[in-house]
Amino acid sequence: MTDPRITTLQGVYTSVIHDVLRALGRRNFTLPPRITPLQPELVLTGPAFTIEGRIDESADAHQTLLDWTGLLSKAPAGHVWISQPHNQVVAQMGELSAETLHRKGVLGAVMDGGLRDANFILRLGFPCWRTFHTPRDVVGFWRPTGTDLPIMIDDVQVRPGDWLHGDRDGMVVIPLELLDEVIAKSVAAMGTESLVRRAILDGMDPQAAYLTHGKF
């Protein structure tokens, strides 16, 4: 069963959520612009399943594949896979992994790192965010160091269960304890924006529209 918050947020712009979080006094909640969507037409929203890892050139192929398939096994349905791999060398998502997660009901994947098999993932329709593309994979090179723990992406902390929300403008992190408030205020803000837009299109001066409705 789809979380009703996902259904609601599918229709909310990331920029609106950003403005609500800023008005609530939050800072450091926008992922860096190097992380971009493979499918910018898709909205990705949902709770975070966090992963961290590092390069380990001493690891053998068998161990790295055991580690990787273990991550796939742990990923919960209804969540967004988000990874801080601490490298810009190998891909953190590819064809078989994306298909496995998609079949499990994982909502999408966000990596401060690489992606491969992009054409397959585009055909699959599994939402992915990444910093670069490469054919190199994790085998014999990279191992996870933890899951379901707070991770840092630049100055942005992502905790397990915090909410990720992204569209072609970028991605923000909504602290879980603020989620319901942010949803309510974001939906209300979109209604106010509609009033401002209608007023301007009807001929009202933009500043007068802002002063009347309190939003621009």
The pLDDT value recorded for residue 190 is 79
Residue found by looking up tokens 């949803």 in the block = 183
pLDDT at residue 196, as a whole number: 61
What pLDDT shows up at residue 215? 61
Looking at residue 154, what is its pLDDT?
Answer: 98
The answer for residues whose C-beta is within 8 angstroms of residue 48's C-beta and 6 or more apart is 79, 80, 82, 158, 159, 160, 161, 162, 163, 164, 173
Closest CA to 108 of 146, 75, 63, 62: 75
pLDDT at 163: 98
pTM confidence score: 0.89
Task: Tell me which residues of the chain have a pLDDT lower than 50.
Answer: 216
Residue 216: predicted pLDDT? 47
Provide the pairing of β-strand 44-55 with 142-147. antiparallel
> What pLDDT is recorded for position 205?
64
What's the pLDDT score for residue 202?
64
Residue 130 is predicted with a pLDDT of 98
